[in-house]
Structure 1
Amino acid sequence: MRALAAARPLFSALPSLVRSWLPPSSFRTFASVSSSPPSDLDLRNQSRGGLPRFFSDDLPSCKGGSVRVQGSEFWHMAKVLRLKQEDRVELFNGKGALVEVCIKSLDKTGVDFIAQEDQKVILPQGMQWQVFAAFGTLKGGRADWLIEKCTELGASSVTPLLTEKSSIISENRVDRLERVSFAAAKQCQRLPQMVLNPPIKFDTLLNHISKSKLCLVATAEATPLLNAVNSSPKKTSGVLIVGPEGDFTKKEVEMMLEAGGTAVGLGPHRLRVETAAIALLATLVMWSDSQETV
Structure 2
Amino acid sequence: METLVLRPHFRQLFNLPWRKSPSFRAFCNASNLSNQSRGGLPRFFSEVLPPSKGSVIRVQGDEFWHMTKVLRLRVNDRVELFNGKGGLIEGSIQGIGRTGLDIMAVGDPKLVLPQNMQWHVFSAFGMLKGGRADWLVEKCTELGANSVTPLLTERSPTISDNRVDRLQRVILAATKQCQRLHEMTLNPPANVGSILPIIAQSDLSFLAVAEGTPLISTLNSLKKSSSGVLIVGPEGDFTEKEVNMIMEAGATAVGLGPHRLRVETATMTLLAALMLWSDS
Q: Which residue of 2 aligns with 1:89?
A: 79
| TM-score computed with the length of structure 1 as normaliser | 0.83
CA–CA separation in structure 1 for the residues paired with 2:243 and 2:74: 57
Q: Which residue of 1 aligns with 2:70?
A: 80
Larger helix proportion of the pair? 1
Contact kept in structure 2, 1:44 and 1:125, CA below 8 Å: no
1:247-289 CA distance string (max 9 Å, x none): 1112211111110101011011000000000011111111111
Q: Which residue of 2 aligns with 1:191?
A: 181
How far the C-alpha of 1:85 sits from its partner, in A, is 0.9
Q: Relative to structure 1, is the Cα distance of residues 39 and 262 closer, same or farther in structure 2, using a 3 angstrom cutoff?
A: closer
Contact kept in structure 1, 2:224 and 2:277, CA below 8 Å: no
CA–CA separation in structure 1 for the residues paired with 2:34 and 2:160: 37
1:68-103 CA distance string (max 9 Å, x none): 111111111111111111100000111111101011
Q: Which residue of 1 aligns with 2:17?
A: none
Matched, 1:246 2:246: no
Q: Relative to structure 1, is the Cα distance of residues 229 and 50 closer, same or farther in structure 2, using a 3 angstrom cutoff?
A: same
1:1-22 CA distance string (max 9 Å, x none): xxxxxxxxxxxxxxxxxxxxxx
Matched, 1:204 2:198: no
Query: CA RMSD of the aligned region, Å?
Result: 1.5
Q: Which residue of 1 aligns with 2:126?
A: 136
Give the count of matched residue pairs: 253
Q: Which residue of 1 aligns with 2:169?
A: 179
Contact kept in structure 1, 2:30 and 2:115, CA below 8 Å: no
Which amino acid is the alignment partner of residue 108 of structure 2? D
Q: Which residue of 2 aligns with 1:276?
A: 266
Where structure 1 has 5 or more consecutive residues not aligned to the other structure, the ranges are 1-37
Q: Which residue of 1 aligns with 2:44?
A: 54
Counterpart selection for 1:68 from 49, 58, 64: 58
Contact kept in structure 1, 2:208 and 2:256, CA below 8 Å: yes
Matched-pair identity in %: 66
Q: Relative to structure 1, is the Cα distance of residues 267 and 50 closer, same or farther in structure 2, using a 3 angstrom cutoff?
A: same
Contact kept in structure 2, 1:219 and 1:264, CA below 8 Å: yes
What are the residue-to-residue correspondences of 1:1-294 with 2, within 5 Å?
Answer: 41-290=31-280
Which amino acid is the alignment partner of residue 118 of structure 2? Q
CA–CA separation in structure 2 for the residues paired with 1:73 and 1:39: 28
1:43-79 CA distance string (max 9 Å, x none): 4332111111111111012222211111111111111
| TM-score computed with the length of structure 2 as normaliser | 0.87
SS in 2 for 1:77: helix
Q: Relative to structure 1, is the Cα distance of residues 286 and 118 closer, same or farther in structure 2, using a 3 angstrom cutoff?
A: same
How far the C-alpha of 1:39 sits from its partner, in A, is 10
How far the C-alpha of 1:117 sits from its partner, in A, is 1.5
CA–CA separation in structure 2 for the residues paired with 1:182 and 1:40: 22
How far the C-alpha of 1:42 sits from its partner, in A, is 4.3
Structure number with the bigger relative contact order (C-alpha 8 A, sep ≥ 6) is: 2
